[in-house]
Structure 1
């Protein structure tokens, strides 16, 4: 059984061709959340005594095969969530977030759905760090922050349309070092709530989706980026950060690209830091850096989840560890042009958010 459209009807399991012709059903959810705050560094230890509680409203749509990547990921759901948190701490206050997400099924029957959800978006914190009025809030230093959500969800049918949702999640909030201090909030979370399904999708049968024509082909990416950051909470100046990247890639399969590349960085905050700390202003080391990286792109049609691990090959000013990581979202707007938003980090500490444009050859 694949669909529970109402009453006692038991339709047959649709094959992939029939599923493509069906309009994607909507699912509406409402969940209560209870969390703890991880004390991941000493400067935030004074803020982890409370237990935040929250509430989420979301709407998601079940994919049915209109795009080939739906079948490659076993027909995931895509959604929009609105999340409210009360941190029960006057220093942290409350937060309001909106995020988009994809929920990939791990096991699905007509009545049970175990899935993994990954989402990202923006969050607003009215009570953020202020040097004069709220300097104890070392978690959040700007009103606008990015949010990242990872969640294991289990939905069990209570009726033809109503489902009980149980979930274990990790919510993360950070501004990516655009303002400091920026230690970020990590919230392990338990959720319980209800979903209303227009109809439920069971496991599909039929021929698998064909592989795209560019599997096994090589390509070249050329891109440039810009970002800005603060050095510390005491320095309110925002410094420009630029990079250029040349990467060679290969599409391994319908879901994955593998990349190797070279890139250069110019972080003007390092120049200000060097001038403040150097005993002499003569013969200062170069703050520019160059590195090599290996990367992976997890593909969802035109959208890709990007992960890189890089190594600095040229770094006269030793301001960072020898390696760096990058996590981001890339969108292939045309066959030639793409854009991306990346978070560059050192040892899990945010360095800068990069806004990137480039060409694929």
Structure 2
């Protein structure tokens, strides 16, 4: 799993930086000061004084509007970031986080005072993790490599053509998707202040061609997503799981689609979890939610319900948040975090075909 994540991360960085190489570059540095949300008993007792702080380096580029989706989304920034975070407690340790992002501006992106929000999936590397003997209280991180989903809301002020300052709030979620347990994960809101330097602002030129007329349509896709899952910290065994989905996607406008899916879930851990070797390993679910499209990429949010759940080992509702990348008009790949309320179930690593 670590090798797979590393390879995917490397491909992600290469694809992103190759697209950035053709556009105006900017470099940012920011300071973060945050706190741990007390979503678990240990955070309210053993780690009450933990106080995460860190720094973030950002490499980004302004989109030019040469691709229509860039004009639709008001010329967003795309980029990659590298952040260092100290959790404020030696048992929790430190983390290095790398992510790629799209930063969307609200209103005119050329205003001296402007506002933006960002969505950024990525990967974190932690130097401390759960150990039943040496670090039993850290039930939040049990693997060195963890998935990250991050978002922010920032205010920017342009001091000079080369220099801008920014500040706002960042929300970060860390989890390994139950690849190994315990896996309570971290939820960290942070306040941030930073600056952005643009070496060559005069070289930027924007395509202002009008966006083409939108025609509503519905497309269908099929997807297969294998997973690896752990059950509890006393059981080192890894269980195989998969999701097979049929999706109907109704495109409502240039930005938003409605994604409905019929999901078939297989989970080989169910017999051990129920103590019944003959327990049914399959479940069926229906899910619905918005899909935000940005060119070949999209972000999917869904809420689902198990319509067939013979073994009641999980909650009846589930949700997922995921990223998809379309290599062609038909073939795509991506990953999604599937969870029951605040508890991660699996990370779905999917490949699919769109009709």
Aligned counterpart in structure 2 of residue 309 of structure 1, from 291, 303, 310: 303
Match of 2:339 in 1: 345
Match of 1:37 in 2: 36
Q: For the Cα contact (< 8 Å) 2:64–2:205, is it kept in 1?
A: no
Match of 2:234 in 1: 234
Alignment of 1:100-249 (within 5 A): 100-107=100-107, 108-197=109-198, 198-199=200-201, 208-211=210-213, 215-249=215-249
Instruction: Provide closer, same or farther for how the CA distance between residues 88 and 261 of structure 1 changes in structure 2, counting only shifts above 3 A.
Output: closer
| Shift of residue 285, structure 1, vs aligned partner | 4.0
Secondary structure of the structure 2 residue equivalent to 1:47: coil
Instruction: Provide closer, same or farther for how the CA distance between residues 110 and 257 of structure 1 changes in structure 2, counting only shifts above 3 A.
Output: closer
Match of 1:358 in 2: 352
Match of 2:9 in 1: none
Rg comparison, structure with higher value: 1
Instruction: List runs of 5+ in structure 1 lacking aligned partners.
Output: 1-22
Q: Deviations for 1:38-77, whole angstroms, at most 9, x for unmatched residues?
A: 1112143322312121011111000010211101111000
Match of 1:5 in 2: none
Secondary structure of the structure 2 residue equivalent to 1:181: coil
Q: For the Cα contact (< 8 Å) 2:30–2:192, is it kept in 1?
A: yes
Instruction: Provide closer, same or farther for how the CA distance between residues 187 and 203 of structure 1 changes in structure 2, counting only shifts above 3 A.
Output: farther
Q: For the Cα contact (< 8 Å) 1:211–1:253, is it kept in 2?
A: no
CA-based RMSD: 2.0
Q: For the Cα contact (< 8 Å) 1:223–1:359, is it kept in 2?
A: yes
Counterparts of 1:241 and 1:205 in 2: how far apart (Å)? Answer: 46
Secondary structure of the structure 1 residue equivalent to 2:92: coil
TM-score by length of 2: 0.88
Counterparts of 2:311 and 2:203 in 1: how far apart (Å)? Answer: 56
Counterparts of 1:41 and 1:121 in 2: how far apart (Å)? Answer: 23
Match of 1:95 in 2: 95
Count, aligned residues: 331
| Shift of residue 110, structure 1, vs aligned partner | 3.6
Match of 1:80 in 2: 80
Q: For the Cα contact (< 8 Å) 1:109–1:202, is it kept in 2?
A: no
Q: For the Cα contact (< 8 Å) 1:335–1:360, is it kept in 2?
A: yes
Aligned counterpart in structure 2 of residue 298 of structure 1, from 268, 292, 297: 292
Q: Deviations for 1:123-182, whole angstroms, at most 9, x for unmatched residues?
A: 000101112221111111100001111111112122221111112111111111111111
User: Displaced runs of 4+ in structure 1, greater than 6 A?
Assistant: 200-205
Match of 2:14 in 1: none
Q: Deviations for 1:210-267, whole angstroms, at most 9, x for unmatched residues?
A: 146xx32222111111001111111111100112111222222111222322121111
Instruction: Provide closer, same or farther for how the CA distance between residues 223 and 205 of structure 1 changes in structure 2, counting only shifts above 3 A.
Output: closer
Match of 1:334 in 2: 328
Secondary structure of the structure 2 residue equivalent to 1:253: coil
